[in-house]
Amino acid sequence: MIALMNELKELHVRTGPVPESTAKEAVRRYCDSYFVREISNGLSRVLPGSSATKVLAFAEALSALQSRYFRASQLEVALSDVLDAGDLRVLLRQLYLVGGMGVQSTVGGSKHTNFVYRRASGGGFSYIAEFTLHNSLVIAWNLHW
């Protein structure tokens, strides 16, 4: 939150109400710089050996998704020449654990999104579930809402 407020202070140097356009630009800058960097840091070093290329390819594949909603199978196809299924599973689980994505679940006919820090319904990470990228990544990568 401090990083977002710093962006806002940098853009809005006068007193008085903050225009909506200024607030939106502050959120966009926060998403582009701070949040994406923090998520990337959270993914680094989870794979054995020198895996920077694999993590970069993973992030690039996520940023090229057609929607904020996706399944592991979509990434398996896009990353088949870079990552094996085991590495992909590790990276997706870590993305969930660092708060970069939520896992969709259906309980009593209602669809819920569970993030590691906020669970609307029981459950945790599941490789076969549908995933939802965090809003900040969606904004930073300009993905379809």
Report pLDDT digits (tens) over 32-43.
777 888 888 889
For residue range 24-34, list pLDDT tens digits in order: 888 878 777 77
Q: Tell me the average pLDDT across 61-83.
A: 95
Residue that the structure tokens 């679940």 belong to:
105
CA distance 131 to 119: 14
The band of 119, judged by pLDDT with boundaries at 50, 70 and 90, is: low
Annotated domain spans of the chain: 3-140
The two tokens of residue 43 are 């993914």
Query: What does the pLDDT look like over 85-101, one tens digit per residue?
Result: 999 999 999 999 999 99
Mean pLDDT of the residues in the chain: 86
Tens of pLDDT, residues 121-143: 666 788 999 999 999 899 888 88
Report whether pLDDT(120) > 70: no
Token readout for 66 is 């057609």
DSSP letter assigned to residue 32? I
